[in-house]
């Protein structure tokens, strides 16, 4: 979530990112249904840098693009310190950089050449805080926007707290899907996942100033006519993230961290946990719940990663400067067995680092390792699946400008 960027910027020292340090694209070969590479975002929430890795973790381009890329690639707008990377499956090798709070721009770039095909503003006249880019086909993609426009009606599709519709072939904004609202709360869509012909949109239902949250909700939006097909209340769960689909596509999982304050402390730990759902039912039916407090002795972050159908990666939610360390776990869904995989390093003052473990990505079905961004040590943790459990491999140091890694995306 980007509403606490100021606090993070104060904790992390900005690095000088120069255009001369940009290393450009990388020729990563096609691998059929398996990812051709890994995009790693590194940031101190002032400057950002994107590196490209081979699926094994070998660095292919340490600074594919950065906040200083304008001189190297002709970017119309420099990147901010808050970006995420998503893939464009209809154009193999193309990445979409989502520049979030303060910039509200999509950048379409070729991973092989670092050539920017286009940039598209998605703010439509206000601070939209775009969260993600999900492409359905060559003519349709969707961007959940967290922010609401206080004075809509000046530009097309400018209401906000919605699902913005993009034609990536142009690219252009072509529509908006309004999302269900509860009195006193914005929909606040935090993530989108395609499940069959539907988009499963996670709604946080947050106050306009994020001073509170209601229970979360999943909304099914048809990709055929963009209608809302169903609503699924996540009763007793707050501040939930994007739904994840298991490798066999037979199970859905969503992590909820509970409402947190500006320092990352969870005010209602009992609303944090994991939910499993059955995508074969319409709408998806809840199968099982796991309490974060019972399993992990505290709340978890609103993101998770499937390693296999029965194994998940989960991260705890830790307040800045607390006595606790951020921790990374695996969870076996069949037995409920929890294994501690890593504990964050302490900050320079000897206190808990806060949210040290960031983006995660696994393609273990392709024989590739799992990656987890470790901001506390400035490296990527790597794990391999062996006998149904995760074993550590040597971590990856990306290099580049020396910014801590925050996000990991396979493409």
Provide the pLDDT for residue 13: 40
Mean pLDDT over 293-310 rounds to 97
**Out of 180-184, 227-231, 397-401, which region has the weakest mean confidence (pLDDT)?**
397-401
**Better-predicted residue by pLDDT, 18 or 366:** 366
Provide the pLDDT for residue 67: 86
Provide the pLDDT for residue 1: 45
Mean pLDDT over 366-378 rounds to 97
Read off the pLDDT band of 62 (50, 70, 90): very high
Mean pLDDT over 186-206 rounds to 98
Q: Is residue 73's pLDDT more than 60?
A: no
Provide the pLDDT for residue 298: 93
Instruction: List domains and CATH numbers for the chain.
Output: 18-387+398-410 (2.130.10.10)
Provide the pLDDT for residue 10: 33
Q: How far is CA 404 from CA 16, 48, 309, 352, in A?
A: 13, 9, 30, 17
Among 29, 33, 34, 99, which residue's Cα sits nearest to residue 60? 29
Provide the pLDDT for residue 9: 37
**Better-predicted residue by pLDDT, 232 or 265:** 232
What is the Cα–Cα distance from 167 to 179, expressed in whole angstroms?
20
Q: Which residues pair with 66 in a beta bridge?
A: 49
* Percent of the chain with pLDDT strictly greater than 70: 93
Average per-residue pLDDT in the chain? Answer: 92
Provide the pLDDT for residue 75: 61
Neighbours of 317 (CB within 10 A): 25
Provide the pLDDT for residue 277: 98
Q: Is residue 390's pLDDT more than 80?
A: yes
What is the Cα–Cα distance from 394 to 177, expressed in whole angstroms?
44
C-beta of residue 340 within 8 angstroms of C-beta of residue 329: yes
What is the Cα–Cα distance from 309 to 249, expressed in whole angstroms?
9
**Better-predicted residue by pLDDT, 299 or 320:** 299
List pLDDT tens digits, range 28-39.
999 999 999 999
* Percent of the chain with pLDDT strictly greater than 90: 83
List pLDDT tens digits, range 257-277.
999 987 788 999 999 999 999
Read off the pLDDT band of 21 (50, 70, 90): low
Provide the pLDDT for residue 85: 98
Mean pLDDT over 324-339 rounds to 96
Q: Is residue 343's pLDDT more than 50?
A: yes
What is the Cα–Cα distance from 204 to 198, expressed in whole angstroms?
19
Provide the pLDDT for residue 22: 84
Mean pLDDT over 109-129 rounds to 96
Q: Is residue 6's pLDDT more than 70?
A: no
Among 246, 264, 242, which residue's Cα sits nearest to residue 256? 242
Mean pLDDT over 38-52 rounds to 95
What is the Cα–Cα distance from 294 to 17, expressed in whole angstroms?
43
Read off the pLDDT band of 80 (50, 70, 90): confident
Provide the pLDDT for residue 347: 82
H helix runs in 58-171, sequence order: 70-73
Q: How far is CA 166 from CA 144, 169, 332, in A?
A: 11, 9, 38
Q: Which residues pair with 285 in a beta bridge?
A: 278
Read off the pLDDT band of 70 (50, 70, 90): low
């Amino acid at each position: 979530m980007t509403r606490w960027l100021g606090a993070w910027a104060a904790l992390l020292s900005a690095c000088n990112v120069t255009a001369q340090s940009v290393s450009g694209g990388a020729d990563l070969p096609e691998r059929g249904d398996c990812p051709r590479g890994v995009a790693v975002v590194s940031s101190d929430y002032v400057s950002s840098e994107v590196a490209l890795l081979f699926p094994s973790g070998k660095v292919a381009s340490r600074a594919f693009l950065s906040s200083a890329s304008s001189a190297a690639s002709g970017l119309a707008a420099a990147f901010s310190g808050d970006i995420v990377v998503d893939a464009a499956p209809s154009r193999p090798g193309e990445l979409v950089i989502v520049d979030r709070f303060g910039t509200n721009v999509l950048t379409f770039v070729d991973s092989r050449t670092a050539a920017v095909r286009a940039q598209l503003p998605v703010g439509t006249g206000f601070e939209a805080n775009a969260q993600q880019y999900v492409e359905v086909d060559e003519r349709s993609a969707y961007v959940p926007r967290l922010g609401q426009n206080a004075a809509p009606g000046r530009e097309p599709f400018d209401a906000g707290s919605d699902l913005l519709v993009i034609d990536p072939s142009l690219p252009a904004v072509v529509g908006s899907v309004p999302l269900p609202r509860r009195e006193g709360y914005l929909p606040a869509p935090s993530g989108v996942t395609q499940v069959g012909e539907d988009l499963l949109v996670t709604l946080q239902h947050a106050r306009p100033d994020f001073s509170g949250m209601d229970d979360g909700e999943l909304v099914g939006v048809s990709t055929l006519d963009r209608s809302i097909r169903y609503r699924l209340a996540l009763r007793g769960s707050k501040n939930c993230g994007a739904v994840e689909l298991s490798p066999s596509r037979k199970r859905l999982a969503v992590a909820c961290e509970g409402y947190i304050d500006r320092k990352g402390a969870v005010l209602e730990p009992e609303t944090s946990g994991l939910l499993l759902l059955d995508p074969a039912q319409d709408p998806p039916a809840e199968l099982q719940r796991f309490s974060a407090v019972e399993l992990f002795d505290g709340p978890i972050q609103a993101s998770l990663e499937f390693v296999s159908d029965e194994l998940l990666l989960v991260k705890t939610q830790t307040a800045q400067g607390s006595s606790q360390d951020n921790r990374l776990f695996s969870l076996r869904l069949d037995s409920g067995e929890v294994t501690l995989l890593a504990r964050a390093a302490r900050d320079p003052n000897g206190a808990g680092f806060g949210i040290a473990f960031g983006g995660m990505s696994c393609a273990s079905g392709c024989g590739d390792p799992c990656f987890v961004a470790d901001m506390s040590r400035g490296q990527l943790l790597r794990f391999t699946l062996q006998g149904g459990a995760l074993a550590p491999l040597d971590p990856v140091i990306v290099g580049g400008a020396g910014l801590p890694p925050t996000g990991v995306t396979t493409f």
